[in-house]
Amino acid sequence: MTAGFQAIVLAAGKGARMKSELPKVLLPLAGKPVIFRILDLLAEVGIPRPVVVIGKSGDLVKKTLGDRCVYAVQDEQLGSGHAVMCAREAAGDAKNILVMCGDSPLFRAETVRSLMSAHVRGNATITLVSAMLDDPTGYGRIIRAPDGEIAGVIEEKLASGDQKTIREINGGLYAFDGAWLWGNAHLMLESDAGEFCLTEMVDIAISQERRVITVPASPDEVAGINTPEQLLAAERVLLGRGDKGTRRRGDKGTR
């Protein structure tokens, strides 16, 4: 594993809005399942066998991925923080932990390498990807102190009117100091909705005066896939990049 990194891919979501019987991470995107693009990306940056967190009905995901990864099971959908905690044993004692969402397949390898490099070079406790969006609706916002340091991450549903005008968003790709993550994950508090949100780890680190930094990503990289329309938009992004596995609709062999 590169520089002591292991990766956790959060893939337990049901994807009810996708109007498909397939798990969201197995939906075809430009010729291959969404999660295959994430596993290919991780292999490219030196993490060939990540931990994939699946739901208790994740048999199809496991059958599709085979031995490309290690598995952890999230029996109940209790949020991203809970999903990461479910991967504790499978992640082992890696020095650094990369966390990605299984429905965010548009990150470039150079961005992930930049995140990993900055995390190690900066001796950071948490490094996260951020992006500047013209319309940040739906994303958590990066809160910065007057000196430019990160002061927190606020989810949109909890943000004030002024905070919602912030254009810098949390891209949902993280690197953690492994020992610190596992030693402090129990400090996450359950939300009113009964979930544990991974972004709370940023607030915990800041409260301990630990180092939290960001690396930039382009707006198209941070887009997730939660609806059929977003799946089509992601395919257009890959087509625009000249992805070799992408065919135009109507071409021979298109899905």
- Alpha-carbon distance of 77 to 231, in angstroms, equals 22
Provide the residue type at 8 as one letter.
I
Q: What is the DSSP string of the chain?
A: -GGGEEEEEE-----GGG--SS-GGGSEETTEEHHHHHHHHHHHTT--S-EEEEETTTHHHHHHHGGGSEEEEESS---HHHHHHHTHHHHTT-SEEEEEETT-TT--HHHHHHHHHHHHHTT-SEEEEEEE-S--TTSPEEEE-TTS-EEEEE-GGG--TTGGG--EEEEEEEEEEHHHHHHHGGGPPPPTTS---TTHHHHHHHHTT--EEEEE--GGGS----SHHHHHHHHHHHHHTT-TT---TTSTT--
Q: Tell me the HSE value of 20 on the side-chain side, using a 13 A CA sphere.
A: 16
- Alpha-carbon distance of 170 to 142, in angstroms, equals 6
Q: Is 17 a catalytic residue?
A: yes
Angle between helix axes 109-121 and 34-44 (nearest 10 degrees) is 50
Active-site residue among 17, 121, 241, 255? 17
Contact 81, 201 (CB under 8 A): yes
Catalytic residue numbers read 17
